[in-house]
Structure 1
Amino acid sequence: MRISILSFLTLSLCINLVGCSKNQGSESVLKIENGAITYEVDGFLQTKISSTLPGTKTLMPTYQSSEKITVNGKAIDRFDHQETRESSIAGDLPGKQWILQGLYNKEGIGIQKTVRLTTYDSFPDLVSTQVTYTNVSLENLIVDNWSNNTYTIESQNDEPAFWAFQGSSSSSRSDWVKPLEPGYYQKNFMGMNDSDYGGGVPVTSVWRKDVNVAVGHLTLVPKQVSLPTEVFSNPLEARIGVQEDFSDHTVWKPKDTIQTLETFVSISTGDYFASLSNYSELMQAKGITVAEPEEASFEPIWCAWGYERDFTLNEVIGTLPKVKELGIKWAVLDDGFQIAEGDWNADPKKFPQGNIEIKRLVDKIHDNGLKAKVWWTPLAADPESKVLREHPDSKIIQEDGSPQYITWWDSYYLSPTKDATIAHTKETVHLFMEEWGFDGLKMDGQHMNAVAPDHTLDQPNNSFEGVPAFFQMIYDEARSIKPHAVVENCPCGTCMSFYNMASMNQAVSSDPLSSWQIRHKGKTYKALIPKTAYYGDHVELSDGADDFATSFGIGAVLGTKFTWPKDNPNASGKYLLTPEKEIIWKKWFNLYNNMMLSKGTYLGGVYDIGYDKPEGHVIQKNGTLYYAFYADNWDDNIQLKGLDENKTYLIRDYYNDETLGEISGAKAVYNASFENFLLLEVTPK
């Protein structure tokens, strides 16, 4: 929580704590128009938002209590307006700012509310909010929570009523993008939700067919707040907002202040792509620096995980010629080579000669003309691992005195800001990339997305907020050894922390549960970090274990974990590259290397991933548009959106190498019949 003692300032408020408002009820005291968003404040410091985008309908008919604080079990959401001041902001992020002040004084509770509203010149359609509350009572208060940008949005009777992107993570590994029906609720806590799961993207984006409303926070480090989403049935409405909950019986003393995070509301059309894209650009303008793209990160990948943990060196080495023959450029040594999590030297049971055997494997990979990447799970250490034997105090200790446990790995969390953790991590990077010669890192594990507060630190939340800096350290260390190192962050099944995205040059769909997840995760990454390579993960994790079209059509890097010339009998799946499968695999990897759509520009605003049918995606490269459509079965017209109405285009089904004719941009409707996917190349004539 953020409670600090400040001088008791009442500014222009009534010192005697009596109601002396100049404005009451629904009378407007401020109206902000910024691009397509209109933001109004009434005499109770309640707000109403609306959109001026063409074709958009009412979001909310009346003012709502969008910012409130709960004290002594009571939600305080109406404050008598006292003053409004307007000013300009100069500097690197110029804009305008409004300060509104109000007072609540009833039943012995006195609270001064100061609201700071900000618009940024370079970011229309968005208004940010930060609130400072001062306890001007004569007694202590008990504070439960604050909430900002809480809006209840009317339905327009779409089917479904609403779609949403929600950026939280939990062990359910649920879809990040989903339709919302009456009775739906999700807390979207950005801290730890389960033993291994937490963090994410601090944005909720809810949309109807006509308009999207997004809320989130703009702090440059992760914070333990919630972004709850709820849908009511009578009337049919969706509620979103940002909330911070305090611990039980948190005392708020007279003259102390509580300051919220800077939060925001934004308006756009279409699905969530524009809202996430604008959010990311604003966060970068505020100071987050995203890693530059790396050429090698767009090259296709083979991973030895098809052989699982009981692989042999002969199996991996024996597969390399087939990997090269298929046109794949990377070979990944996965889990099972190490002594333990936290002791990353070669396991002598598998490598009797020790680390030199892994060095020889890397040399074999290089001899086959391939690049080598190694699997690794940083921040995890087994109870008897070397790092914990030598540095037992490097663990995260929770408030109850117990270590934070990683259920999946049967390991403990290392505290990311402690010197011993950092030194151990740097040593590991040097082992992998300097001593063994690997060209890239595959960092893996859902636990990497967030950690719990470490109560051995003076400021326990420093561990939670310090995770992004930890991964930046890894990225910098790897690139200092190999300037073109590929650094992949694979937080299994989680909605990856936005703050960790800055410190990698390869994102991944990260153990997807369906092809739908591969596609909408790809759209998410291409909104937030559009220049960073997005890897669709092993094709064996897609629908039917062979859905290359899903990754290909959204501009993802192709990958596989096939085994050859035989399956590992102890592997959990059947990954053998049979002669029949080899024909398919070879075709897709040849197409990928020839077209490299992963380097094109993904046009995420063309199709609404929720309401447009069939599901559509578009990539632009060298003046040509590449359309990808997905449906179980489709036999109807498809609108080819995004074409110039003054041009005529040639259409080709590039997967089947079939010319389909011409189409005019003014009448860009194509009658199509397909199962599962349709991939079109549309070129100006």
Structure 2
Amino acid sequence: MKHLTIRITALTAIMVLIGCTSDTDNNIVLSIEHGALTYEVNGNLQTKITSKIPTSKTLTPHFQPSETIEVNGIVIDRFNYQAVQEDSVAGEMSGKQWVIEGGFENEGISILKTVRLRAYDSFPDLISTQVTYVNTSSENLIVDQWSNNAYRVPAQNDAPPFWAFQGSSSSARSDWVKPLEAGYYQKNFMGMNDSDYGGGIPVTSVWRKDINLAVGHLALVPKQVSLPTEVHSNPIEVRVGVQEEFEDHTLFKPKDTIQTLETFVSLSTGDYFANLSKYSKLMQAKGISMVEAEEGAFEPIWCAWGYERDFTLDEVIGTLPKVKELGIKWAVLDDGFQIAEGDWNANPKKFPQGNKEIKGLVDKIHDHGLKAKVWWAPLAADPDSKVLMEHPDSKIRMENGAPQYITWWNSYYLSPTKEATIEHTKETVRLFMEEWGFDGLKMDGQHMNAVAEDYTLEHPEESVEGVPGFFQMIYDQARSIKPNAVVENCPCGTCMSFYNMASMNQAVSSDPLSSWQIRHKGKTYKALVPHTAYYGDHVELSDGADDFATSFGIGAVLGTKFTWPDDNPKASGSYVLTPEKEKVWKKWFDLYNQMMLSKGTYLGGIYDIGYDRPEGHLIQKDGIHYYAFYADTWNGPISLKGLDTDKDYAIRDYFNNATLGEISGKDPVYNGSFNDFLLLEVTPK
């Protein structure tokens, strides 16, 4: 079989006690080679991971208890090997499968452990794990947690020792990609972490300069598990894994079975891009279907949020000529038009003539040759909103009976699988797109990423697992009304749920706290949904409130929330489009419309966003390489990776329209200096 060899040996008469060493610790009962990944299992059903990549160093120096269960307060990490069986896996997900059995008996505890390992033909360097535990004792046991793919990886004198991508969400709105030092810990719980923050991408990817190791789970719906990341000292090593903790002691009766999720370990070189891309492709092969790209989603955007909630119709309409003049294609009506979250009709205090005034605004936007998008916070409903007055049972109720609360709007969560929520949502989409005529939806709010368990349901976890289907319903409804509708999902500040990505055709950096966040969020989306438009959000949220270069260089859609004109008393401060700023804005939007790098191919595996300096990104479009480099200040050699060694190239700084000379693909090093950014067009001669 391509990429795959195996070796199986037998063991006899193994006795193992908790915490004791054994002569079976290094006795290998199964060895799998899948691409560059060697996966070994010893007689205690512990594992060792080795990389065959020539430049890689030690990953796991010893066999480790990667799959464990905590019973009666004791972590059981050694099981006596009993048998192994190898089978082929047929169908679209073809490959090989091994089922290994082992047993544990000590002090009245008797458990049978069965480990199923899979190596998929189309996904080398990745092996998945699913474990089943059976209580073979005569007594009830208490189970607190299980853990899969738990590894300790030593540092190799890099500075910093490790970088990591972590896919969890919290109110801290912290970086998804960050350096790790000794003493670091992050739980990475995939359920609710705060009142309205939760969910994410169930993958942790940690790397050194020589190797990247990723772990995660492969369930097709969100699951409330953790992927903790911890860095220890003496020696410095990073610990990762996937674990489920049971909130209440779970009774494990005789002959009962506990089965873990299917989890995985995957290797790559470079930063997290390759492993995250592989994960997404595997999940799609398993059945998650990503929607097609939409042409209009790549067009630049102006949002009325610069005027915030107290905007007036005159302000929005008065800005449209300048929006068109700058070459922007979309105008977005943001928060503040509605009666309440949960009653999305026009607020009569702002619109005395009601809904027809918003319909008139959409007509004005269209008259200017622009497309119109409307802001919306689905799943949010104010306590006195129409939907909750008519359907009070549509909201989520947590285990203590209280409704789940959304802090930003002082609202309650609607339960995504309840019929009243679904019908209310469909009616809202019809209002926006049929009655008012909007061309797209800006779904917004950190609360959209995940929900709590709804204890009014027979199976409370159905609300958690039903969120992706809710957003798919919105996408289908919007596209049934307007076949080219752009559906943006903007979970403010959170690490977006991978499962919700399947029903949007425009991703967004969603309230970034820095240009660094715009860039690494863009790299993340381009790994997971590479064909989908990625919007860098309002440039006013970037460093200096004017860092168009960050979005431009990584192939993101440009956007702004400027206010205009400058004699408007409300159009003051950092958002006003002054004549000086207008020249800069005009240059960037003209350049964007000419080059459309957002439609190019982002080559995320070329540069390591953690260790390479200066920070580099590469887009290929129409046979031309477009490089973007970022640093506060740089003066020295810059490696132009990814060029053909048998070609010569001309180099141009396309932002400043300056010819910089030529370079050979055999020695692609350019000596240059810049502050903040350098954007290069490298064309074969």
Taking structure 2 as the reference length, what is the TM-score of the superposition? 0.97
Counterpart code for 1:383: P
Counterparts of 1:175-190 in structure 2 under 5 Å?
Answer: 175-190=175-190
Counterpart code for 2:333: L
Counterpart code for 2:346: A
- Deviation at 1:54? 1.8
Q: Distance in 1 between matches of 2:572 and 2:563?
A: 12
Q: Distance in 1 between matches of 2:148 and 2:648?
A: 49
- Deviation at 1:18? 11
Q: Does 1:395 align with 2:365?
A: no
Cα-to-partner distance string for 1:618-651 (whole Å, 9 max, x where unaligned) = 0000000000000000001101111111100000
Aligned position for 2:95: 95
Aligned position for 2:431: 431
Aligned position for 1:246: 246
Aligned position for 2:611: 611
- Deviation at 1:574? 2.5
Counterpart code for 1:275: N
Counterparts of 1:367-386 in structure 2 under 5 Å?
Answer: 367-386=367-386
Q: Distance in 1 between matches of 2:641 and 2:327?
A: 33
Aligned position for 1:535: 535
Secondary structure of the structure 2 residue equivalent to 1:363: helix
- Deviation at 1:250? 1.4
Aligned position for 1:621: 621
Counterpart code for 2:607: Y
Counterpart code for 2:283: M
Contact 1:518 1:551 in 2 (8 A): yes
Inter-CA distance 102–585: structure 2 relative to 1 (3 Å threshold):
same
Aligned position for 1:152: 152
Aligned position for 1:130: 130
> Which 4+ residue blocks in structure 1 deviate beyond 6 angstroms?
none
Q: Does 1:353 align with 2:320?
A: no
Aligned position for 1:580: 580
Q: Distance in 2 between matches of 1:568 and 1:420?
A: 43
Contact 2:16 2:78 in 1 (8 A): no
Aligned position for 2:636: 636
Q: Distance in 1 between matches of 2:304 and 2:248?
A: 49
- Deviation at 1:573? 5.3
Cα-to-partner distance string for 1:401-430 (whole Å, 9 max, x where unaligned) = 100001111000000000000000000000
Q: Distance in 2 between matches of 1:137 and 1:204?
A: 35
Inter-CA distance 471–573: structure 2 relative to 1 (3 Å threshold):
farther
Counterparts of 1:443-458 in structure 2 under 5 Å?
Answer: 443-458=443-458
Q: Distance in 1 between matches of 2:354 and 2:603?
A: 49
Q: Distance in 2 between matches of 1:576 and 1:505?
A: 30
Counterparts of 1:50-61 in structure 2 under 5 Å?
Answer: 50-61=50-61
Q: Distance in 1 between matches of 2:106 and 2:97?
A: 30
Contact 2:299 2:328 in 1 (8 A): yes
Q: Distance in 1 between matches of 2:457 and 2:97?
A: 37
Contact 1:509 1:518 in 2 (8 A): yes
Aligned position for 1:590: 590
Counterparts of 1:174-213 in structure 2 under 5 Å?
Answer: 174-213=174-213
Aligned position for 2:7: none
Aligned position for 1:520: 520
Counterpart code for 1:310: D
Inter-CA distance 197–572: structure 2 relative to 1 (3 Å threshold):
farther
- Deviation at 1:178? 0.1
Secondary structure of the structure 2 residue equivalent to 1:416: coil
- Deviation at 1:556? 0.1
Counterpart code for 1:312: T
Aligned position for 1:6: none
Deviates more, 1:461-470 or 1:247-256: 247-256
Aligned position for 1:681: 681
Counterpart code for 1:667: D
- Deviation at 1:315? 0.2
Q: Does 1:486 align with 2:486?
A: yes
Q: Distance in 2 between matches of 1:413 and 1:613?
A: 44
Contact 1:23 1:80 in 2 (8 A): no
Cα-to-partner distance string for 1:433-468 (whole Å, 9 max, x where unaligned) = 000000000000000000000000000000000000
Contact 1:23 1:29 in 2 (8 A): no
Q: Does 1:544 align with 2:544?
A: yes
Aligned position for 1:7: none
Aligned position for 1:46: 46
Q: Distance in 2 between matches of 1:243 and 1:472?
A: 28
Secondary structure of the structure 2 residue equivalent to 1:201: strand
- Deviation at 1:221? 0.3
- Deviation at 1:283? 0.2
Counterparts of 1:468-487 in structure 2 under 5 Å?
Answer: 468-487=468-487
- Deviation at 1:326? 0.2
Q: Does 1:554 align with 2:589?
A: no
Deviates more, 1:241-250 or 1:119-128: 241-250
Question: Unaligned stretches of 5+ in structure 1?
Answer: 1-11
Secondary structure of the structure 2 residue equivalent to 1:210: coil
- Deviation at 1:13? 13
Aligned position for 2:497: 497
Q: Does 1:233 align with 2:266?
A: no
Secondary structure of the structure 2 residue equivalent to 1:248: strand
Aligned position for 1:310: 310
Contact 1:13 1:102 in 2 (8 A): no
Q: Distance in 1 between matches of 2:432 and 2:234?
A: 58
Secondary structure of the structure 2 residue equivalent to 1:403: coil
Aligned position for 1:9: none
Contact 1:298 1:557 in 2 (8 A): yes
Counterpart code for 2:69: I
Aligned position for 2:4: none
- Deviation at 1:61? 1.1
Contact 1:167 1:203 in 2 (8 A): yes
Q: Distance in 1 between matches of 2:146 and 2:91?
A: 30
Contact 1:567 1:575 in 2 (8 A): no
Q: Does 1:645 align with 2:645?
A: yes
Over aligned residue pairs, what C-alpha RMSD do you find? 1.7
Q: Distance in 2 between matches of 1:475 and 1:552?
A: 27
Contact 1:44 1:81 in 2 (8 A): yes
Q: Distance in 2 between matches of 1:348 and 1:124?
A: 60
Aligned position for 1:274: 274
Secondary structure of the structure 2 residue equivalent to 1:81: strand
Q: Does 1:164 align with 2:164?
A: yes
Counterpart code for 2:638: I
Q: Distance in 2 between matches of 1:25 and 1:550?
A: 51
Q: Distance in 2 between matches of 1:126 and 1:252?
A: 32
Counterparts of 1:657-672 in structure 2 under 5 Å?
Answer: 657-672=657-672
Counterpart code for 2:532: T
Secondary structure of the structure 2 residue equivalent to 1:666: coil
Aligned position for 1:5: none
- Deviation at 1:247? 2.1
Aligned position for 2:34: 34
Counterpart code for 1:274: A
Cα-to-partner distance string for 1:552-577 (whole Å, 9 max, x where unaligned) = 00000000000011376568953110
Counterparts of 1:56-135 in structure 2 under 5 Å?
Answer: 56-135=56-135
- Deviation at 1:23? 8.5
- Deviation at 1:661? 0.6
Taking structure 1 as the reference length, what is the TM-score of the superposition? 0.97
Q: Distance in 2 between matches of 1:237 and 1:302?
A: 46
Contact 1:308 1:571 in 2 (8 A): no
Q: Distance in 1 between matches of 2:570 and 2:362?
A: 24
Contact 1:307 1:568 in 2 (8 A): no
Q: Distance in 1 between matches of 2:81 and 2:572?
A: 65
Contact 2:626 2:679 in 1 (8 A): yes
Q: Distance in 2 between matches of 1:424 and 1:566?
A: 41
Q: Distance in 2 between matches of 1:315 and 1:52?
A: 62
Count of equivalent residues: 672
Cα-to-partner distance string for 1:101-137 (whole Å, 9 max, x where unaligned) = 0000001000100000000000000000000000011
Q: Distance in 2 between matches of 1:382 and 1:643?
A: 55
Cα-to-partner distance string for 1:237-293 (whole Å, 9 max, x where unaligned) = 000000000122211101000000000000000000000000000000000000100
Contact 1:567 1:576 in 2 (8 A): no
Q: Distance in 1 between matches of 2:683 and 2:594?
A: 17
Aligned position for 2:320: 320
